[in-house]
Structure 1
Amino acid sequence: MSETHDPAGHNAFDDLARDAVYQAIFGRRDVRSQFSTAPLDDAVLARLLNAAHHAPSVGYMQPWNFIIIRDMARRQAMRELFLAARQQELPQIETERRALYAKLKLEGICESAVNICVTCDRNRSRNSPLGRWHNPQMDLYSTVCAVQNFWLAARAEGIGVGWVSIVDTPALQRLLGMPDHVVPIAYLCVGPVHGFANKPDLERVGWGTRLSLADLIMSDCFGGEGEAELKQIAKTLSG
């Protein structure tokens, strides 16, 4: 009997490598309060940055830069920006959730080993319209892919990452001396941690729950019904 061949799995990782990828995805956390006082080795940091640098980018534009922030005075100034932005955000939170919001730990700017600002240089590929002619924001999306690569690689290395999104963008640009054509995409707190939580913090404290994947799958058009078998498998995966 001739050996059967599965084209779909021909280029797949072996089971251990594949499982490790999913482990990094499912075990990734937005770290705020679990940072340890241990330093972050430059060799590890270089590997994480190299993973980020190998992210997909539309038109191979590679629009990212990585600003490494070690100076504590600058980090404290960033924390002041965060606190001011948080006060501005508070009135936008539903009244019944403001008390919970006030208790949330939403950054580890000064506790983490290092801060990194991932930026997008919007001039880097201005002479190359490939993939951007109809969608000029693709350089921004490409940079977000670099952030995700960095985050998953960090989880595989046992390194925590927390994304500080509560900040006024022009103020951050001034703090880090960015020219106008450079946009901050992610301000990250990075470093060794005591451990990773079993659940995302916001789920653990009751801020939200993970949506059902099956409810998000549509068939052929927005709102399209169908894909019953796929949805059933999705429900099984969700437990």
Structure 2
Amino acid sequence: MRPFDEDAMSVASGFSLAEREAVYHAIMTRRDVRSQFLPEPLPDDVVERLLTAAHHAPSVGFMQPWNFILVKSPTVRARIRDAFAKANEEAALMFEGERRQAYRSLKLEGITEAPLGICVTCDPTRSGSVVLGRTHNPRMDSYSTVCAIQNLWLAARAEGVGIGWVSIFHEADLKTILGIPEHIEVVAWLCAGFVDRLYDQPELSVKGWRQRLPLEELVFHDGWGRSER
């Protein structure tokens, strides 16, 4: 094993005030975009920067289990939209009464409106059967892939690019449409494109579906359910 090289380390200094504020601004103003997409295509250099940000996400055991399928074809995106519509109607029937009506009033995707779709996948076999850090939790590869998605999402916000995560699918349908091997996990379909505006608050909050929980109700100390005294 190559000895640890201290010269390869850099100083872990904090960001400047402006840099720090920019990071938090991206986090606080990130939105799940459904209906504000502009039709103009994303430049290749912008897409490359977003994917580079995703590829620099943390991953357990440095396994980097992600792949990104870029889908520009209107025909393919139309098939994806049909797969969503089927699953979305099934989802609507899981709610009852006014909740079902409210669900059906929500716009939950921009698959054909966004100029680019990104299918993010996870390959659990990439680092073999035994992976450092995944030995006792086999889902760590999926969690790592979600970190890549968050990196991409925040970079997109900084670039003025809207991202919408569509999760209402049967995974088998996406695998069939995109030719994804059986052992690969589909983690997300992301709609990506420039937007003309963003909601000041999450859209589901603005439309009354659900509100943000108070942080103080979610923080425990030294054990589950223990509030700070």
What TM-score results when the alignment is normalised by the length of structure 1? Answer: 0.89
User: Which residue of 142, 147, 171 maps to 2:173?
Assistant: 171
Which residue in 2 is equivalent to 1:6? none
Distance 2:18 2:87 in 1: 43
The question of 1:47 aligning with 2:38 is answered: no
Which residue in 2 is equivalent to 1:84? 86
User: Which residue of 10, 13, 19 maps to 1:11?
Assistant: 13
Q: Report the 3-state secondary structure (helix = DSSP H, G, I; strand = E; otherwise coil) of the residue aligned with 2:120.
A: strand
Q: Report the 3-state secondary structure (helix = DSSP H, G, I; strand = E; otherwise coil) of the residue aligned with 1:163.
A: strand
**Which AA in structure 2 matches 1:136?**
P
Q: Which runs of structure 1 show a deviation greater than 3 angstroms over 4 or more consecutive aligned residues?
A: none
User: Which residue of 190, 213, 216 maps to 2:215?
Assistant: 213
User: Which residue of 72, 75, 83 maps to 1:73?
Assistant: 75
Residues 225-236 of structure 1: pairs in structure 2 closer than 5 A: 225-226=227-228
Which residue in 2 is equivalent to 1:108? 110
CA positional deviation for 1:127: 4.3
Output one character per residue of 1:16-74: Cα deviation in whole Å (capped at 9) or x when no partner. Answer: 00000000000000000000112100000000000000000000000000000011111
CA positional deviation for 1:103: 1.1
Distance 2:130 2:48 in 1: 29
Q: Report the 3-state secondary structure (helix = DSSP H, G, I; strand = E; otherwise coil) of the residue aligned with 1:62.
A: coil
The question of 1:189 aligning with 2:191 is answered: yes
Distance 1:68 1:219 in 2: 43
User: Which residue of 204, 207, 210 maps to 2:206?
Assistant: 204
What TM-score results when the alignment is normalised by the length of structure 2? Answer: 0.93
**Which AA in structure 1 matches 2:198?**
F
Identity of aligned residues (%): 51
* Cα RMSD after superposing both structures: 1.0
**Which AA in structure 2 matches 1:210?**
R
Provide structure 1 residue ranges, at least 5 long, that are not aligned to the other structure: 1-9, 229-239
Distance 2:62 2:55 in 1: 11
CA positional deviation for 1:215: 0.7
Aligned residue pairs, count: 218
The question of 1:30 aligning with 2:38 is answered: no
Which residue in 2 is equivalent to 1:154? 156
CA positional deviation for 1:95: 2.1
Distance 1:170 1:122 in 2: 17
Which residue in 1 is equivalent to 2:9? none
Contact in 2 for aligned 1:59/1:128 (Cα 8 Å): no
Distance 1:175 1:37 in 2: 23
Contact in 2 for aligned 1:29/1:160 (Cα 8 Å): yes
Which residue in 1 is equivalent to 2:137? 135
Provide structure 2 residue ranges, at least 5 long, that are not aligned to the other structure: 1-11
The question of 1:125 aligning with 2:127 is answered: yes
